[in-house]
Amino acid sequence: MKLKRQAFSYPYIVWMLIFILAPMVLIVYFAFSSAEGGLSLDSIITALTNEIYMKVLARSVWIALKATVICLLLGYPIAYILSTMKKRTAAILYVLFIVPMWMNFLLRTYAWQVLLDSNGIFNSILSLLGLPAQQFLYTEGAVMLGTVYNFLPFMVLPIYSVLVKLDRSLVEAAADLGANPVLCFIKVVLPQSVPGIISGITMVFIPAITTFAISRLLGGGKFLLYGDLIENQFITLGQSAWPVGSALSFILLVLVLISMAIMRRAEHDAGEQGGMLW
């Protein structure tokens, strides 16, 4: 019986080997290879010492950090409000909130491109109010808006899943002991929701640092991010640039693994301390 149950995992294992492990092995192989095919550290050294590459990486990390903070500041109140509503109402709003996720990522980003265009709805509203048109599209603000919009649900959902399971009797007990609503939230609700916060941060920061479609469509190529840099190495420059592109990907892979390790450690510490990190 146990063997039969394990058999159901075999297709998933095969899928992981083909579409996850094999590409990672290829990235590592090309990252430590020269254009001629021999073993070499030149690509890694180039990726680490090139000033432009490092500036793009720093910009990508900074934008991802800002997007993650904004998503947290917006997503936590949304998740908390949903968790305090009646189940029927919360379920309807929950579905409405995730409906945009059913649409293709690129289509959602293209929609913002239309809205932010010089002839888009925002400039049309400004025109009706007698205000001058603004350059919304192809700015860093547009890239940030698209990033937050696309990844905000990934912050809300894990936090909501934790808050909705929160034992409300703990809040009532804190109130009975004289704690005001603010103190109840700080001492009871917030610490218990730390695992959801950490999951949300992980689910937003990692894809935000690797994205390239948003900067391409909403930034107009003016704000090159690390994902764009990697894409250019493989698509634009051709096979001769694959080692450098793989080296850039390898560096990003290491950063992602370090981020995940830090988040897992923080989540483990939060679990040991009853959800409290301070």
CATH number at residue 88: 1.10.3720.10
In a domain, 29, yes or no: no
Query: In angstroms, rounded to a whole number, what is the distance separating the alpha carbons of residues 271 and 172?
Result: 22
In a domain, 16, yes or no: no
- Count of domains forming the chain: 1
In a domain, 27, yes or no: no
In a domain, 149, yes or no: yes
DSSP, res 34 = -
The residue written with tokens 């420059």 in the block is 237
In a domain, 88, yes or no: yes
DSSP, res 18 = I
In a domain, 265, yes or no: yes
Domain that holds residue 123: 50-272
196-239: pLDDT as tens digits: 999 999 999 988 988 888 988 898 877 788 988 898 888 888 77
Per-residue pLDDT of the chain (278 residues; tens, 9 = 90+): 556 677 777 888 888 888 888 988 999 998 998 766 678 888 999 999 999 999 999 999 999 999 999 999 999 999 999 998 888 888 888 888 788 788 888 888 988 998 998 888 888 888 888 888 888 888 889 999 999 999 999 999 999 999 998 888 888 888 878 888 888 888 888 888 998 999 999 999 988 988 888 988 898 877 788 988 898 888 888 778 889 999 999 999 898 888 888 888 877 776 665 544 44
pTM for the full model? 0.85
H-only helix segments in the chain: 2-7, 10-16, 22-31, 42-49, 51-84, 87-98, 105-116, 121-128, 140-163, 168-176, 181-184, 190-192, 194-210, 213-218, 226-231, 242-272
In a domain, 125, yes or no: yes
